[in-house]
Structures are given as structure tokens and as C-alpha cells.
């Protein structure tokens, strides 16, 4: 699906509804320096899932995002991405003002988290979900885990979505 500004492409992983979503989880390929689309009234979390990294200029302030780094900003912030060394793949979480707060926590090998409602593999990964082991390829996703679950990363890393309120 094209970005709102027409300058990129995002791949929707999940959303609470097809149109007029309240929250959306997606990935995007960033292959050049590019401004992000504006989403007034939306909170955004950006995570580098593949590639060497990117610098996000957010309202004139540089935010360096290497592999598995997370950046948080508002949808009406002026954001411009500058790739470091070749294309980058990103995980994006967006939710509207007034809906329950969500966040992305990067879990790396040996770490765990409770209350995870979805996650996306940042490279090949092995995870235990409520005690059951899953082998994941890059950008594989496990979504809409009702009530949240316990996730432990055995190998690799995942970007985990956590509902905080």
C-alpha cells in the first residue's frame, strides 16, 4: 500500500479494522532519503528491523536509529529519513489519540516480556510464546494475541507490541 504522501510503500501486518483504523502495525522499505507522511492525531513508533540504520530528523532534531533501535514521535511531526548505508526495513506502530497507549519494546536473545500482543522478527529468530517454541524468518509476525502472552527470545530479536493502558 502506498504511503499517504506517495513517496514509499508500507505493508500492513494488522490493524483493528480495514478503514478508519484506531491502530495499525506495518512494515516499510526505505531505499532512499525520504520525508514521512503526516498523520495528525496519531502516535507513532518506528523500529529498524533490517539494514544498517537511518537518521530520522524529527522537527529539526536528529535521532540516530541503528539496528533494532526504536524512535517515538507524533504523526504531525515533520519527519525526514536519511538512510546510512543501503536500504532499511522498518516496523511501524501507529495508534490514534484517545485510544489505549501502545509501545514497541525490542526483545533480544535472552530477554523476555509479558503482555505482548504482537511481534515482528528482526532477522531470523527463535522465540518461546507461552512455552511453545517458534522459528521465525525475517519480518515474520505473530499478531493479535488475545490478552497478551509471555515471549522469550531464544535467538535473534523481535519488535514486540505492548498495550500499556
Give the model confidence (pLDDT) of 96-136 as tens digits.
998 888 889 999 999 999 988 888 999 999 999 988 999 99
Where on the phi/psi map is residue 76: left (φ > 0), alpha (ψ -120 to 50), or beta?
A: alpha
The dihedral built from the CA positions of residue 98, 99, 100 and 103, taken in this order, carries a sign that is: negative
> Cα 111 to the chain's mean position, in Å?
18
- At a CB cut-off of 8 Å and minimum separation 6, what does 17 contact? none
Q: Name the burial class of residue 49, with classes exposed (0-12), middle (13-18) and buried (19+) by CB atoms within 10 angstroms of its CB.
A: buried
Q: What is the mean pLDDT of residues 140-165?
A: 83
Q: What is the mean pLDDT of residues 137-151?
A: 85
Percent of the chain with pLDDT over 70: 98
**What are the structural domains of the chain?**
9-96 (2.60.120.10), 102-163 (2.60.120.10)
What is the rounded CA–CA span in Å between residue 2 and residue 105?
Answer: 26
The pLDDT of residue 164 is 57
The dihedral built from the CA positions of residue 42, 45, 48 and 53, taken in this order, carries a sign that is: positive
Amino acid at each position: 500500500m502506498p504511503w499517504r504522501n506517495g513517496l514509499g510503500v508500507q505493508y500492513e501486518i494488522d490493524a483493528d479494522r480495514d478503514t478508519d483504523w484506531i491502530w495499525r502495525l506495518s512494515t516499510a522499505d526505505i531505499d532512499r532519503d525520504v520525508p514521512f507522511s503526516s498523520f495528525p492525531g496519531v502516535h507513532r513508533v518506528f523500529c529498524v528491523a533490517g539494514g544498517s540504520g537511518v537518521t530520522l530528523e524529527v522537527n529539526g532534531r536528529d535521532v540516530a536509529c541503528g539496528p533494532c533501535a526504536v524512535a517515538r514521535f507524533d504523526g504531525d511531526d515533520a519527519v525526514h529519513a536519511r538512510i546510512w548505508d543501503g536500504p532499511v526495513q522498518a516496523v511501524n506502530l501507529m495508534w490514534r489519540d484517545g485510544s489505549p497507549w501502545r509501545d514497541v519494546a525490542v526483545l533480544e536473545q535472552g530477554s523476555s516480556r509479558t503482555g505482548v500482543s504482537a511481534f515482528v522478527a528482526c532477522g531470523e529468530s527463535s522465540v518461546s510464546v507461552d512455552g511453545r517454541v517458534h522459528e521465525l524468518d525475517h519480518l515474520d509476525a505473530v499478531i493479535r494475541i488475545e490478552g497478551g502472552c509471555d515471549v522469550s527470545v531464544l535467538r535473534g530479536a523481535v519488535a514486540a507490541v505492548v498495550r500499556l493502558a
